Chains A and B, each alone.
Chain A
Amino acid sequence: MPSLSSMSQSQDIHFDGLYAHELTVSRSEHVLLEDAELHLAPATITYLYGDNGTGKTSLMRCLTGLLQPDHGTVYWNEKPINHPESGYFQDLIFLAHSLSMKNELTIAENLTFYAQLRCGGSYNNKELQADISQVLTDLGIDGLEGRMFAELSAGQQHKVALARLMLEPAKIWLLDEPFVNLDQKTRRWLAAKTLEFKAQGGVVLFTSHHHIDELPVDQKVGVEHE
């Protein structure tokens, strides 16, 4: 029987932030989660662990609403995420395994596109381009704005995907294996930015195969099969 074990410090359940209630998820007849409860409060970092194939990614995709759970509901600030007033999708950045960047576009074009899509018309292109250069400099890939995404190395491509976190305003980050493929310096950078985001009241959920020393977490959640 699959189960979701939570080692949360705080036992009191209040609905602020992201709350998954009685979530049951199965993939091709195989039950991954059954009646799982998960609460991600504002200003917390949650580490989701588990072996390969236990359903970490499926759980995360359920939380994004991309994957329909068999039953159960995901709430964002006490409203179901699909509720038009929840504003969940404006608040959410989901970085998946696939980097979701187009090979045919330059780095700046890729990042600009997502920022534009999020902000609608209300953005300043000059500021955005300046922000992009700044983030790329922080990540150590400065000067590559005009390069095609396909021309970068795997690690550099991963950094570009992470740059989205800095360019789009959000309240919740769901990060699938964000630390994979990263060098020491970038791991530290990402950990620092995640803590900064938490300090602003952000909700973070990330998966990883190893413990990340640089990032102190508030809550550990394991997906395990008994």
Chain B
Amino acid sequence: MISTLLKRELKVARRNWIGLAIPLLFFIIVVSLFPFAVSPEALMLQKLAPGVIWVAALLSMLLSLEQFYRSDYQDGSLEQLLLMSSPTSVAISKIFAHWLLTGLPLVILSPLLGLLMQINYGFEHINHTWVLMLSLMLGTPTLCLLGAVGMSLTLAANRNGLLVSILIIPLYVPVLIFGASTVTASLESLRYNGELAILGAFLMIAIVFAPFASGRALKISVG
């Protein structure tokens, strides 16, 4: 059942790729403007890199949330999905598809942006790009899961984009803090296992609770 839902999501997304490309483009543009605005000096950029890349990734995820559930709610197919399968499996397949289409591309693009922000400047043997990718790999699914809950709660409200931002940014902040500090710790040649573990713990908690919460909220929004 979940694989049927997932296949449909991916098919719809493939035909509607421009909507997905915009948040990615936004991610690249925001990061690439920093060298112009701040300073092209490598050390300076390197210091800013973790924060800038993580903030851009978070905003890009926030931007792409608008597509979550929205079109299914408007064309009535969400009702049909809820009738024909369990709300939790609808939420799981939506969240997974959404992460594949918005979170994973961020992870894949991040080395390029790391390069742009001189993340490896002055280090010959240590590659911080992997740490950046790993932190995003653990962090972006959490952002997706939390965003799904926010979106499903506010589906029935008009122009819910703003509402969702206000609702879930406080929940995004811990992920941002530990995501960025993982990379910062690595840049300062400190151990970053602890930060990664906390990111992983956030993810585990979100995986357990968010699909269920999102499913329940969908039922309420549709009713």
Contacts and interface: CB of A to CB of B under 8 A. Distances in A.
Interface string B83-95: 1110000000000
A61 to B, nearest CB: 8
A92 interface: yes
B222 A104 contact: no
B75 A102 contact: yes
B77 A101 contact: yes
B8 A100 contact: no
A189 interface: no
Contact of A64 (B1, B11, B83, B85): B83
A94 B80 contact: yes
Interface stretch (A109-117, A190-198, A204-212): A109-117
B1 A120 contact: yes
A114 B1 contact: no
A67 interface: yes
A114 B15 contact: no
Contacts of A116: 4
B83 A92 contact: yes
Interface in B56-78: 71, 74-77
Contacts of A89: 83-84
A182 interface: no
A102 B82 contact: no
A66 B79 contact: yes
B223 A105 contact: no
Contacts of A94: 79-80, 83
- Chief secondary structure at chain B's binding surface: helix
A150 B223 CA distance: 26
B124 to A, nearest CB: 48
A100 B80 contact: yes
Interface string A79-104: 00000000001001010111111111
A109 B4 CA distance: 11
Contact of A103 (B75, B81, B84, B223): B75
B157 interface: no
B12 A104 contact: yes
Contacts of B223: 61, 66-68
A92 B80 CA distance: 11
B1 A100 contact: no
Contact of A99 (B12, B15, B75, B83): B75
B173 to A, nearest CB: 34
Given A109-B11, A116-B4, A99 B84 contact: no
A98 B83 contact: no
Contacts of A158: none
Interface string A116-159: 11101000000000000000000000000000100000000000
B5 interface: yes
Given A104-B12, A113-B4, A117-B5, 4 more contacts: A67-B223, A98-B74, A114-B84, A120-B1
Interface of A: 61, 64-68, 89, 92, 94, 96-105, 109, 113-114, 116-118, 120, 148
Q: Which 7 A-B pairs have CB atoms at the shortest separation, nearest pair first?
A: A98-B76, A104-B15, A100-B76, A100-B77, A104-B12, A100-B80, A116-B4
Interface of B: 1, 4-5, 8, 11-12, 15-16, 71, 74-77, 79-85, 222-223
